[in-house]
A = this chain, B = another copy of it.
Amino acid sequence: MTADSPLNRWEQRTEVPLALASLAYLAGYAVHVLATGLPGVWRDLCLAVTLAAWALFAVDYAVRWRLSGQGPRFVRRHWLDTLVVLLPLLRPLRIVRLYEAVLRRRGEPRLSLHARVIVYAGVSTVLLGFAGALAVYAQERGAPGTEMPTFGDAVWWACSTLSTVGYGDVTPVTPLGRFIAVGLMACGLALLGAVTGSFSSWLIQVFASEGERTGEQKGKHGAERGAEAADGTGPPGS
């Protein structure tokens, strides 16, 4: 894949507009769900913004499929994009890309691998948790026997689910609410995996570099520096 292919140019040009559309999608949905005091026409407008953003993503998906010239394999290769088109609640994940694009434009060096994993996992979790709390709250608030009378309860429930703590003092009771909740649980598992995995690989890396140093610099002041290496994973030449 050359850097000047039409597909690449399309992706570069649509990056910022699509990220803004994601924000508009999430904001429109949030206002539609939460601002129950608004006149109906405003809430309908918000819903229209949400649907328009969705349509935009579908168009982008179709254009990229066409430009890639890959036929049906495109659907499987870009399964995350396919999923995002089908499940609009996952759309906020695109905002993570915007964050990276902004960093790149400002000419700052890209973050280290572990910092990036932590930032991605953190931002994704916050966005998915917010979107999940919105969607579950929209389902649950009117249900008989609901345990989420306020949006604060829904956020509290989403936090306890994403951290896999699961108090159970607030739980969804409607079938659709529970279906979305299962998705949030899966996100919680993935978040746990990301946190644990980064920590584990960071430790292994620190350990390997400590081993190399004490091997290389034995006799000088290796032990002292090796011990310091465990506090920060700065480049070996610093």
Contact = CB atoms under 8 A, between A and B. Distances in A.
29 contacts: A113-B230, A159-B182, A159-B185, A161-B165, A163-B188, A164-B165, A164-B166, A164-B189, A165-B165, A165-B166, A165-B185, A166-B168, A167-B167, A167-B168, A168-B169, A169-B171, A189-B192, A189-B195, A192-B195, A193-B196, A193-B198, A193-B200, A197-B197, A197-B202, A198-B200, A198-B203, A201-B203, A201-B207, A205-B207
Nearest to A190: B195
Nearest to A156: B178
A5 to B, nearest CB: 14
Contacts of A178: 152, 156, 159
A63 interface: no
A163 B156 CA distance: 18
A193 B117 CA distance: 14
A166 B161 CA distance: 9
Main secondary structure of the interface of A (DSSP, over half): helix
A113 B159 CA distance: 32
A205 B205 CA distance: 11
A196 B200 contact: yes
Contacts of A227: 110
Contacts of A165: 161, 164-166, 185, 188
Interface string A167-195: 11101000100100110011011111111
A167 B168 CA distance: 4
